[in-house]
Structure 1
């Protein structure tokens, strides 16, 4: 641990620029990150006083392939991005966990009291308690700490701000109490446990794994207890394309039921074949039984299952294309995945509010603007939040201007792939 005033002086003098460049990739954001870290350190002092501290980071993520495939034990392609949550942290000895989350205020709980509390469902306190409980159940040491957390991962916008938060809590416990020996895959699994059990939101493991592990990764969840994680080496700059995320300013508030219906309906199809998850059902058997399935489950579960089978296969094809240098083929499959999500998965807007279709508008404006200069698709869970586009570098400003004109200045974010997941910065 290091004294805050010393870190601030060195940060202002530029001593950490190479470290920040390594983490955040983009030279254009280094000044912003220096100011952000100094501000966070100052806020910690205001709340907890001048202390020796450590600094932790956990990134947001961008889903690149496999939309809603993970909760059916399928495959995904995902990447960490250079937006993150950072935490200024000091270990304490009284088992109290005191986390001041920027914009949300103080959260207090005891590391010795980790039973689920129904009143904490859908709260940050539930996520924190769930992560600590999950790590404790796995035999790891947990304890108290003070932390100031701030995040520039867009909240409610499909970049997994909650998974970044779960990851940073798990990484703090790994660093403070377990010598950083907890694997990032385990931290991801514990994050999913916290979100499923303590927060009360059904989700797969993709968000947490992408945030925790870092880099562009291919994940196979055939056995969720032991997901197979493979790094995919591709330099988007080499192909002269940028990753753009457009925030349509739609909130995920009150959409939990819409998300829950997707795995619920997919499982109805799996149950028709005596299975629990669609990954266990032979694709040929599904197609041979569509008529019977329609009668048994209704049409939407069939369409959503169809999306799963095709998008799951598409992930492997995307990885092969990237490994073989076929970037045009990869882009074509990005568009195919987006079309499948809109037509079959049906997660672009909620049918409870058909007059609010910000993502539909974003996709339409993107296609009309991009033409042969890029491709776009839904990003993340859907229903609200963000879309994703891969845009030729020399067309990025044209694309940004078109989308900002619809959704407001700063709606289009040009991001970089970050190679680190959850980490101790210093």
Structure 2
């Protein structure tokens, strides 16, 4: 349908049920306005089209397994009710043109899908890389016009880049492949784009959580065929809200800090004749501590120690979720956060110790929530966000304390979304 018909469709409430599932009933009117504004922006850029479609890909929250995925570990993650949306239409030019709100237009020629070093760390590389992976897998691609807008906080640990990659893959899937590509495959193509084209050595958790949706546990022992299980996890049943605190820092310019983590873990793995740490035991690591420390340094040893114990902890957290043992769940989450702070060391960047917003947010959380809630570093680290499970009767106090330090709007109360990357219409 064209723009006028699409906007009328939205106004008439034809997407209300879908919006309620994606965002919650209280967000329906907000999302109507948001999607109609996106339609207007599309028309302003590309003119009206007869075949307009709508897409959404969510951000994600990592619940367990901090920096375990890239060494073939286990994770628990969930999609959240913040997302990147797109208004899209097929074109016959062979060009993929995507304009994201607040950014310049990115144009990719589908006849030129080679890696371009000058596109490192730029959104255009994610578009080119995702399209290239579709072609490598024998799938169809073609010309595309799209306008996107996001409320996933950039550099926040909610994986705005993964959501964007999954969005591009989801659009190509439904526009040119009749929706035949699985959410798991779209996540794998997205990770390929981020690793090979964007130049960031991310694991697969972010893309998988965005693409598959809901609360999932993933075992990456075989990254080509990860074992994925959706789980029933009700925040209301636990009596807690999920509060993500944005401390204002961004790891967008700290890729080298982020990238050092998998590199150092894999260095330690190489000592044991392995490519990744999965399969190395804590006993083996401790028995070889002097040699590992001498060869790779103390930080690499500590990061390996974190991985091995965090990976075991994920299994315990999965058990706690399944048995609805929420006291154990919260205790294990705090243990995870402490391990990240002490051993993984991704709460602040060593070159800038004067910037420790995340450390302060964790200190406030401990002060307010001790004995009742849980708190931890969230996502890649080095600034960004903390994750907090806050008892309902503590939410306003928690928000007040956090926002007195980090400013109004820094405490985001999120819900878990049951659907991953999807065609909305």
Q: Normalising by the residue count of structure 1, what TM-score does the alignment of the two structures yield?
A: 0.98
Residues 1:92 and 2:91 aligned together: yes
Residue 15 of structure 1, CA deviation: 3.0
Q: Deviations over 1:322-350 (max 9, x none)?
A: 11111110111010000000000000000
2:377–2:385: 8 Å Cα contact kept in structure 1? Answer: yes
Q: 2:319 — aligned with what?
A: 320
The CA distance in 2 between the partners of 1:324 and 1:136, in whole Å, is: 43
Residue 284 of structure 1, CA deviation: 2.5
The CA distance in 2 between the partners of 1:314 and 1:372, in whole Å, is: 20
Q: 1:249 — aligned with what?
A: 248
The CA distance in 2 between the partners of 1:54 and 1:30, in whole Å, is: 19
The CA distance in 1 between the partners of 2:151 and 2:252, in whole Å, is: 19
Q: 1:371 — aligned with what?
A: 370
Alignment of 1:228-243 (within 5 A): 228-243=227-242
Equivalent position SS for 1:367:
helix
Residues 1:154 and 2:132 aligned together: no
The CA distance in 2 between the partners of 1:18 and 1:193, in whole Å, is: 34
Equivalent position SS for 1:150:
strand
Alignment of 1:85-164 (within 5 A): 85-164=84-163
Q: CA RMSD in A?
A: 1.0
Q: Deviations over 1:142-185 (max 9, x none)?
A: 11110000010001111000000000000000000000010111
Q: Which moved more, 1:235-244 or 1:167-176?
A: 235-244
2:19–2:25: 8 Å Cα contact kept in structure 1? Answer: no
Residue 283 of structure 1, CA deviation: 3.4
Residues 1:361 and 2:326 aligned together: no
Alignment of 1:403-414 (within 5 A): 403-414=402-413
Which blocks of at least 5 consecutive residues in structure 1 are unaligned?
none
Residue 254 of structure 1, CA deviation: 2.1
2:282–2:309: 8 Å Cα contact kept in structure 1? Answer: no
Q: 2:48 — aligned with what?
A: 50
Q: 1:194 — aligned with what?
A: 193
1:337–1:377: 8 Å Cα contact kept in structure 2? Answer: yes
1:101–1:149: 8 Å Cα contact kept in structure 2? Answer: yes
The CA distance in 2 between the partners of 1:374 and 1:258, in whole Å, is: 29
2:152–2:160: 8 Å Cα contact kept in structure 1? Answer: yes
Residues 1:282 and 2:281 aligned together: yes
Equivalent position SS for 2:236:
coil
Alignment of 1:322-341 (within 5 A): 322-341=321-340
The CA distance in 1 between the partners of 2:105 and 2:378, in whole Å, is: 31
2:280–2:308: 8 Å Cα contact kept in structure 1? Answer: no
Q: 2:25 — aligned with what?
A: 27
The CA distance in 1 between the partners of 2:93 and 2:296, in whole Å, is: 53
Q: 2:38 — aligned with what?
A: 40
Q: Which moved more, 1:38-47 or 1:335-344?
A: 38-47
Residue 371 of structure 1, CA deviation: 2.3
1:373–1:395: 8 Å Cα contact kept in structure 2? Answer: no
2:218–2:226: 8 Å Cα contact kept in structure 1? Answer: yes
The CA distance in 1 between the partners of 2:71 and 2:57, in whole Å, is: 26
Which blocks of at least 5 consecutive residues in structure 2 are unaligned?
none
The CA distance in 1 between the partners of 2:281 and 2:249, in whole Å, is: 37
The CA distance in 1 between the partners of 2:259 and 2:187, in whole Å, is: 20
Q: Deviations over 1:168-212 (max 9, x none)?
A: 000000000000010111111111111111111111111111111
The CA distance in 1 between the partners of 2:168 and 2:215, in whole Å, is: 22
The CA distance in 2 between the partners of 1:344 and 1:252, in whole Å, is: 19
2:302–2:343: 8 Å Cα contact kept in structure 1? Answer: yes
Equivalent position SS for 1:19:
helix
Residue 16 of structure 1, CA deviation: 2.0
Report the number of matched residues. 424
Q: 1:263 — aligned with what?
A: 262
The CA distance in 2 between the partners of 1:324 and 1:370, in whole Å, is: 23
